[in-house]
């Protein structure tokens, strides 16, 4: 898998993980904010009516609601469609106002046995003298109890309101949609910027470095790559240093080979001076049919190695044939005759035993003695 594919895969996975974690965080935050907003709105409604309610509770404790109190409760429930149920209670838990008049003055326990309160939020609010709320019905409603405090922070009564969370859920859903769209756009922007950075600063320089490495050859052990001050530049410098070492090693090997060749030529000069009769011509041929050494001077103007065919052209087929047969039959001495510069010569050719990968052939031309 290429670097771009790996980066894309990792970016997608990390982005999905971050979006999921962020979604969970923002969902709980939105839920807290909008639920708190709903609860504060209900509490503010009670605080707005608190002076009238508290004065009436103080004037007529543990009785049914007066006409102004009843009108306040009716108007509130009628004008706020979020309210599912509204119960106004005295400090002892008895019903002070209910939209169904049959429950008026009914005790908390009797009402709870007959109708059943959704949650035990009312006793909690009376005991703590603070606003209490409990979510129920799979999160569709809040059951809130808002105490009405008289002088010396004494609970004079309680307003129990069951309010729907439908509006809050809509706000939460809309906020999550906005979050998802915003997160998607943000990830696209971040991904695009990171991809451009990766493309311009990493991918293309690496491709250029690859092309430069492919362009390296034994004839040109140099890395044609522009200098960079980053990690890719460090890699290019390391490759260049390696090529310098290789070039030095090759140069050393060439020097060793030249020295070895010179020693071999001296060795052949000594051997041929002893074994080849005076007046005979001897040629030592390497594995590429190039002339390694001769006991006579070659008058050939040519740069580089001299090939056997540079000395004997196609008209001297007998020599070529003898040499070819000798190469096919190692260690066997093969003979033939040839006329060289109007002089008949006996040709001897032998393929010497292989010595550490160095194949050498010896060719001797001996003039025939005239009778």
* Cα 329 to Cα 174: distance, rounded to the nearest angstrom: 94
Say whether both 62 and 148 belong to one domain.
yes
The verdict on 43 and 146 lying in the same domain is: yes
CATH of the domain at 362: 3.30.450
DSSP assignment letter at 345: E
**Is 189 a member of any domain?**
no
**Same domain as 300, residue 157:** no
pLDDT tens for the 371 residues of the chain, in order: 577 788 888 889 999 999 999 999 999 999 999 999 999 999 999 999 999 999 999 999 999 999 999 999 999 999 999 999 999 999 999 999 999 999 999 999 999 999 889 999 999 999 999 999 999 999 999 999 999 999 888 999 999 999 999 999 999 999 999 999 999 999 999 988 988 888 888 888 888 888 888 888 877 787 888 888 888 888 888 988 888 888 888 888 777 777 777 887 888 888 888 788 887 888 888 878 888 888 888 777 777 788 877 777 655 677 777 777 877 788 888 887 777 666 777 888 888 877 656 778 888 888 876 54
Separation between Cα atoms, residue 304 and residue 301, nearest integer Å: 10
**Cross-strand pairs, 259:** none
User: Which residues share a beta bridge with 338?
Assistant: 345
Q: Compute the distance between CA of residue 243 and CA of residue 224 in angstroms, rounded to an integer.
A: 12
Rounded distance between C-alpha atoms, residue 247 and residue 254, angstroms: 10
Q: Which tokens go with 362?
A: 């010896």
Collapsing DSSP to helix, strand or coil, 229 comes out as: coil
**Total number of domains in the chain:** 3
State which of 253, 274, 295 marks the end of a domain. Answer: 274
50 vs 57: CA distance, rounded Å: 10
46 and 166 together in one domain: yes
For the chain, first and last CA: distance in Å? Answer: 84
Instruction: Give the pLDDT score at 355.
Output: 63
Read off the pTM: 0.60
Helix ranges, the chain (H):
3-59, 67-79, 108-114, 121-128, 166-198, 204-214, 231-275, 308-311, 317-328
Q: Which domain holds residue 77?
A: 3-173
| C-alpha to C-alpha distance for 285 and 234, rounded to whole angstroms | 48
Is residue 210 a part of any domain in this protein?
no
Within this chain, do residues 156 and 238 fall inside the same structural domain, yes or no? no
The DSSP output letter for 153 is G
Q: Is residue 316 within a helix (H) or strand (E), and if so which, with residue range?
A: none
Domain match, 131 and 151 both:
yes
Are 286 and 253 in a shared domain? no
């Amino acid at each position: 898998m290429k670097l771009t594919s790996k980066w894309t895969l990792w970016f997608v996975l990390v982005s999905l993980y971050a979006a999921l974690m962020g979604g969970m965080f923002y969902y709980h935050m939105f839920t807290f904010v909008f639920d708190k907003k709903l609860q504060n709105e209900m509490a503010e409604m009670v605080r707005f009516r608190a002076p009238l309610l508290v004065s009436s509770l103080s004037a007529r404790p543990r009785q049914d609601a007066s006409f102004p109190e009843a009108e306040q409760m009716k108007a509130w429930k009628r004008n706020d469609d979020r309210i599912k149920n509204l119960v106004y209670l005295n400090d002892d838990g008895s019903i002070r106002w209910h939209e169904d008049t049959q429950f008026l003055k009914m005790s908390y326990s009797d009402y709870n046995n007959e109708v059943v309160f959704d949650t035990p939020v009312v006793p909690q609010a009376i005991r703590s003298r603070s606003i209490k709320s409990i979510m129920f019905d799979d999160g569709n409603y809040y059951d809130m109890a808002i105490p009405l405090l008289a002088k010396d922070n004494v609970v004079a009564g309680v307003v129990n309101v069951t309010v729907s969370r439908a509006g809050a859920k809509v706000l939460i859903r809309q906020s999550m949609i906005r979050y998802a769209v915003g997160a998607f756009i943000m990830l696209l922007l971040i991904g695009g910027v990171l991809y451009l950075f990766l493309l311009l600063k990493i991918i293309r320089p690496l491709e250029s470095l690859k092309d430069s490495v492919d362009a390296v050859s034994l004839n040109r052990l140099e890395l044609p790559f522009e200098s960079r001050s980053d990690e890719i530049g460090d890699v290019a410098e390391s490759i260049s240093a390696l090529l310098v070492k290789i070039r030095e090693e090759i140069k050393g090997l060439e020097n060793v080979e030249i020295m070895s060749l010179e020693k071999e030529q001296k060795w052949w000069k000594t051997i041929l001076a002893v074994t080849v009769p005076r007046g005979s011509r001897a040629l030592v041929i390497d594995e590429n049919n190039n002339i390694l050494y001769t006991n006579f001077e070659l008058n050939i103007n040519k740069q580089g190695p001299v090939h056997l065919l540079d000395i004997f052209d196609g008209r001297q087929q007998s020599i070529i044939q003898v040499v070819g047969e000798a190469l096919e039959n190692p260690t066997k001495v093969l003979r033939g005759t040839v006329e060289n510069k109007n002089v008949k010569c006996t040709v001897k050719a032998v393929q010497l035993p292989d010595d550490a990968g160095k194949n050498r052939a010896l060719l001797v031309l001996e003039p025939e003695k005239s009778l």
